Structures are given as C-alpha cells and as structure tokens.
Structure 1
Amino acid sequence: MDYLEFKIKCKEEFREILIAELAEIGFDSFLETEEGIDAYAQEADFDREEFQRVIEGYQEAAEISLTEGKMPKVNWNQEWEKNYDPISVDDLVYVRASFHESKPGFRHEIVINPKMSFGTGHHATTFQMLKHQGRLDHAGKRVLDVGSGTGILAIMAHLLGASAVEAFDIDDWCVENGNENFDLNGLSTRMGLGTIRDVNPQGPFDIVLANINKNVLLDEMQIYAELLEPQGYLLLSGFYSEDIQDLLEVAKPLGLELLESSTKDNWAALILQKK
C-alpha cells in the first residue's frame, strides 16, 4: 500500500505538537528533519479534511509550509537507523536502538527499535513519564501500562524492580512492536490488544501508567482509580499544560491527589496518589 508523504517546514518548537496532532488523525510514521518533520500516512486511510484542519490551526503560529508526495511502503527501521539518535533522562536511563552502542554512566538502559517517533523517549510526554517513574519505588510492585505503544514505560517499570508488569494497546502494530522490544529488554510479559475495557486488567495495581491523550484519560480516569491500591500512584501524560486543571477536576472526586506536575515543550505530566 502506498504512503502519502508530507514534508512540513515549521518552527522547531511546534514539531512535537504537530507530530501528536497528526498521529491523532491517522499518520503512523514521522521523521524529524533540520527544517521540520516528514509525516507519512497510508493513502487509503488519509483524511484530507482533518489534515487541513490541523495544518490551518497551526499555519500562522508555526509558519508552516509543506510539500506533498507519494511513495511506496517504507522500511521504517532502515529510515530510523538514519535519523534516530539515543536519548538520556538525567542519569536514570539511556534509551537507544539496537544499532547504537551502549553508554556507561546510567543506572539503566533501554533498547527500543521503534517504527514511529512516539515511545522512544524523544517525545516530551514519554521523557517526563520516564523521569517521574524514576521518582517512585517500583520494587516488588504491580504495574499497569495503559496504551503501552513501544512498551518503553513497561520496560522502565521492569528495570526499576516491579514484580509484575501488564501492558496493552489498541493498535496491533504497537502490540507486535512492543513485544519485540520486551524481548530485547528481557521481559517475559506479552502485550495485550484492546482498550482497557476490552482487556479488563485485574487489579489492584500499585502503579498505573497512562500516556495517551486528554479525552481518553478523562474517559478512563475512574477505571484507573478503581484499579489502584490505596496509596497507589497514577502517572499521566499526553496532554497540554493548559489541560492540567481539566484532568484534576475529574481526578479529585475519585480520591486522586496531585503530588507533582511537570511540563516540557507545553506537554504536561502528573503524579497522582490514591488517598
């Protein structure tokens, strides 16, 4: 199946936002460039009206210009080898692909062979979730990773000493890629397929991780709360800093108290505790 390719020139501070917005409307692969991003969508699934809505919404502020083309299906792993650099989260963890060398000086190392940009640690939401995980004691804990993507947060939980890690995603591609990454990092668990209601994980859990998007988080917040042990932790990201209050208004009546928040590139992340 052919892909549509959009070479998007934009201000640097809008790259992450545009990737997130385009991923929401069906784009499945991205490459960051010196001038902006290259975005790819399967031609059969492309919604031009939604694409125009996103572009027009940021056109002026991000100074967007773009060119459109068509290309055969791409080996994204080969493309990532050309464009994907390792990242580090303080001295907590070094995230690399299998074609990168290890690097000393970090408490942990994660190997991720991604097929799109989310879940590599490059995105501000994933970076903040990893950082927040490093603040919590995972030793001997049961951890649930909701919308696991490449599996990076589940892998981090495993490295931090969790006794049991469960993960799932609604995308069968993510499940396949996540299980590949689990194998690379020594996890025996297998990723489930479906929404949290489909998978119906059996609590209680000590830590629930959910890096998705605002609407899904609001819809599923009560489920997260019910799955948590008293004093358990809920880590959230996938929304903008201006959305924090909306999340807290839903969380507070469920007994979830804000312990810490952070922002990076206008993306927010929260640590909540069930009281």
Structure 2
Amino acid sequence: MKQASSVVTLNGANRWNERRRTFASTILAAIFLAGIAACSWLLGSSGLSVQLENRNLAPSMTHLFGTDWLGRDMLSRTVKGLALSIKVGLLGAACSVVIAATMGLMAATLGRTVDRMISWLIDVCMSVPHLVMLILIAFVCGGGLKGIAIGIMLTHWPSLARIIRAEAMQLMAAEYVLVARKLGSSRLKVAIRHLAPHLLPQLLVGFLVLFPHAVLHEAAITFLGLGMSPHQPAIGIILSESMRYLSTGMWWLAVFPGLGLLLTVRAFDKLGNHLRQLVDPRHTHL
C-alpha cells in the first residue's frame, strides 16, 4: 500500500510540475507574441527607409542590430519580419486546424464512402513533400503574402486530420453517441455537440504544433525568393540577402534575424510539447 501510494504521489507531483511548466511556457509565449507586436508597432516604418550614410554599421547603441548595405535598421527589419512571419503562421495554422477538424468529423460521421475519400485525400497530400506542394499552390495563387498563406493552409492539415479522424471514430463508438443517434440526433448535431467538444484539446495542441512548422515554411519560401517582394521585411528575405555579405564580415545581418526565428519556433514547439503531454492519456493519474 505504501509503495502504491508513493507511486501515485510521484505521478501527481510530476503532473503538477508539467502543468507548471506548461503554464510558464504559455505565459512566456504570450509575452513574446505581445512584445513582437508592440515593438513592430512602436518602431514604425522609419527604420525601413534607405539611409546610405548609415550603411554597413556594426551593432551599437544607436543601431542595436546594426544596419544593412542600404542603411536600413536591422532591428526594425528583424522585428517587422518576425511580426509578418507570426501573422502568416497564426493564420495558416488556424485555418489548417479548421480544415483538419472538418475533414476528421466528416470522415467519422458521413459513412464509409466519405471516409475512404477523405483517407485517400489525406494519403495523397502526405505523399507529396510540404515544401513542394506549398511552392506549387503559392505559384498558382499568384505568389505574394496571399499565395504563401493559402499554401500553408492547404498543406499543413493532413497529419492533424488523420489524428482527429481516429479520435472521432473512437468517440462514434461511445455509448452516449450511440444513444444520441438512436434518439434521432442528426449527424451534424452529433458532430457539433458530442464530438467537437472532446476534440478541442487535440485541436489546440495541433494548432501549437503546426504554428512553428508554418513559420518555418513561410521563411523557407521567402528565402527561396518565391514569395514576396525583396523590399518587404520578411525573415526569409532578410536571411537570403544576408548570405551575400557574410564573407565581408557583416555577421549581424544573419545572426539576429536567425536567432529571432529560432526563438519563435522553439518557444511554441516547447509549448506544444508540454500541452501534448498534459492531454495525453498515458500521462494521466494512475
């Protein structure tokens, strides 16, 4: 009895520590997002203007991140680029979650034929590399910020949709769902009232896991020059342009934007992992 009690106590302590880590990660991620948005608004667009008299300046108190070959302030460009990447990542991840939830619920509630069609579509989408499909969709949609956002929306949902489909299939076999069906509840009502509320934790975790992937893919597309205008302050564009000047010793052009992108991705990846451990049934109390 003492051993069993100690095991339960240990598991409870571990779960409490996991909750504290998740709460701390959530607070830090929210502060980070708010800080990027506030700094982007406070800095304005003055630092993005060309000032040839200030070009190629190393980091200093006047220009904390230095300046580029056109005299543009790298702190302003980095913050603006991160804000743009976060905006595209949030939009793409949110729309991908909506598509995944819709597909998963349709596959579970509309019968075997629809389930087979959606499963086939998921397999087809997952068989093509994300970056290749993203480039094709962005090109078809005319490129630019709109093309990248649409490409991210339409390429990041399949893996989450497969998980949601499996969870929804298990819920469809639950007694309360069977009773609701026998009492005459429609498939739409079952999906909205009985399935969707139980899938919210998985959808939230999926959103937090998809967000860093969306940010990285946005940076990759703009790095390749297939997205936006070179004059727009996107992280991928900044890193791509800085490659030509690293050999001349202008290290700050790539280091600060790269660190900003790394911190953004790592923070939300860590938050997603903590939250996933909390909703994973294998980590519940004994």
Using structure 2 for the length normalisation, give the TM-score.
0.21
Tell which structure's C-alpha radius of gyration is larger. 2
Using structure 1 for the length normalisation, give the TM-score.
0.22
**Would you tell me which structure has more strand in proportion to its own residues?**
1
**Would you tell me which structure has more helix in proportion to its own residues?**
2
